[in-house]
Every structure is written in C-alpha cells, then in structure tokens.
Structure 1
Amino acid sequence: MAAKTKKSKWPIVLSVLIPLLAVLTVVILFIGPLFGLHVGDQVREVFQTERTEDGSSYQQQFTEMEQEVVELQALLQEATNELVVREAEMNELQAQLDDATNSETNEEVLTQGTVQEMATGLEAVLKTYEEMSPKRAAALIDEMNEEEAYIHISSMKEQLRGSVIARLPAEKGATFLERLAQEGR
C-alpha cells in the first residue's frame, strides 16, 4: 500500500505545482513592473523580433544604417581632404597676389620717382630748346621716336611749339598737330 500512496502524491504535487508556477509567472510579468521588476520586457526582447512595415527586422535596418554612416564618414573625410587642398591652393594664390601687389606698389613708387626725374629732366630739355634755334630743335625732334617727340612738343610753350612744328616734315608735323588738337592743347 505504501507504493500506492507514493503514486497518488505525484499527481497532487503536479496539480498544485503547475498552477502555482503559472500564477507566479503572471505575477512576475504583469504585477512585477509595478514593483520595479521588468522581467517581462527582457523576456519579450529575447523571444520576439519586431518587424518594420516592409517586413525587415529592426536589426537589419540598424545594420544598413551603420553601413550608411560609414559611407557618409568616408565622404566627409574626402570632402575634408579636398577642402585642405583647396585652402592650400588658395593660400598659394593669395601669396602670389600679395607678391604681385607688392611688386606693383614698388613699380608705382619707382615709376613716380622716374616721372619726377623725367619731369625735372624735361624741364631742363625745354629750357635748352628755348635757347636753340627752332630749325635745330626740329632736327633733333625729327630724330626721336614719335611718342617721345610728342611729349617734348606738347610740353613746349606755344610760340616755340609752332616754330618747331613748322620746320618738321609735313607728315610728322600734321600728326603732332592732330594729337594736340584732340587733347586740347
């Protein structure tokens, strides 16, 4: 009879233990969060894979986004490198521009000095023309290049200018008179 009692205890134990485990599981999953136990969320994450509208898993989307971030970082690095190269080119061009500007400024200073020297020299030459005969002055001017000769003629006093132009070859004299008229001298 003792053997029969042992057999009868197992169904009773199982019939009490299984409902007790079920009640305990329900309490942990549904009432546990009220007391700070979030076991249900962790269990759901393990057993459930959420799907997006297109049917792919969030993990797959996350992986794709990570790949896109890596590609964007590579593009950003390329753009940064290109920017560095462009900045170097810009600095080089700026240096060349500064050199050219300094060079032009130096040339202007030299040119201004040269103009002043030429003006002083021209005044001396004009005094020399006044002291020589118009025929001799015309002969000297006829030997100069046209631009330099014009500068000398245009700088002379009107009376001397007329005498010198009258003694120049006709074509050259006409050219000088035409330019003087255009400039209003």
Structure 2
Amino acid sequence: MEQFEKEEETKKTSKFQWFLFVVFIPLLFTISVVLLILTFSGINVFEQGKKYASQLPFVSQWIEGTEANEKKKLQEQIVELKATIVEKEKQLTKANDALKEKEGEIDALKQEIARLKAEKEQAQGPTTPPTEQTNTSRVDVVKMYETMSPKKAAEIIPQMSDREAVDLLSQLKTDKVAAILEKMDAANAAKYTSLLAKKANN
C-alpha cells in the first residue's frame, strides 16, 4: 500500500515537471518574445490589450467602472480645489479691505496733525527768528535811551549788570554817553568809563 502511494506521488510530480518544462516555460518565453517584438515594432501592447479587452462584456464593464471612479475622484478633487481657491480669494479680499481701512486711518491722523499744527501756528502768530528779534529789541532799547534824559538814564543804568550797561553805553552816541556819565556819581562814572575803555581796546 505504501509503495503504491509513493508511485502515485512520483507520477504526479513527473506530470507537474513535464507540464512546467514542456508547456508553461516555453509558453512564457514565447509571450515574452512576442511582447518584445511588438514593442520594438512601435505597437503599444497594453493599449491594444485594453482595446480588445474592452470589447469583452465583463472586462469592458470593469474598465468602464474603473474609469468612472477615477473620473469621479478627479471631479471631486477639482471641486475641492475650486472651493480652496474661493476661500483664499475671500481671505485676500478681507486682508485688502483691512489694509485700506488702516491706510484711511493713517490719512485721517495726518490730516488731524496738520490741522492742529496750523491752529497752533495761527494762535502763536508770526514768529521772528531769535537773533533777529534780539537785535530788534536792542535797537529799540538804544533808541529809547537816546531820547531819554541823561539824568533818568544815569539813575537806571547802575541798576543793570556791568555787561548790560557797557553794551548799552557802547551803542549810544558819544555826547549822549558823556551827558549820562556827568549825571552819575563819581564812582559809577569812573567804573563805566574804565569798562568802556576795556571794551574799546578788545
């Protein structure tokens, strides 16, 4: 019995080996050679296979179903992309509106600053440069002392600082200075005469 089973198993193995070496391997080799020849001949084997396979009822239905699924997926992706683009456009529009609003606020602030500056300048009136204003004041003071009586001037000048008094006396006419010094006491007259002499030498 065991020997019979071994013989049967040996026969099956021999048949499989015969099928493998005599039928399957030559067939596979032949198919490979045919595919290579067709490919070098410029024939798209897979496209032709798809074309002929689509003519078969079950295969064509399977191919159509696959293409329909792919087309549906592609359409869904297109819809999603369009929705994303619309959302991005809305965000961009909102950002542009916010930017315009900020620019409007900046312009309004600039106008307000300009208005306040104009009001301030109007309230202050025309301004004279410090140097020019100082020189004008000095000329006015000199004119005032030129027309003032020597006695009155002699009473006021000693109340000033030595520098102010000398600056004033140096701008007055010589005869006016002499008349003022005559009305001063001897000490002040001597002091201012000495200071005027030093200023003249400098």
Taking structure 2 as the reference length, what is the TM-score of the superposition? 0.41
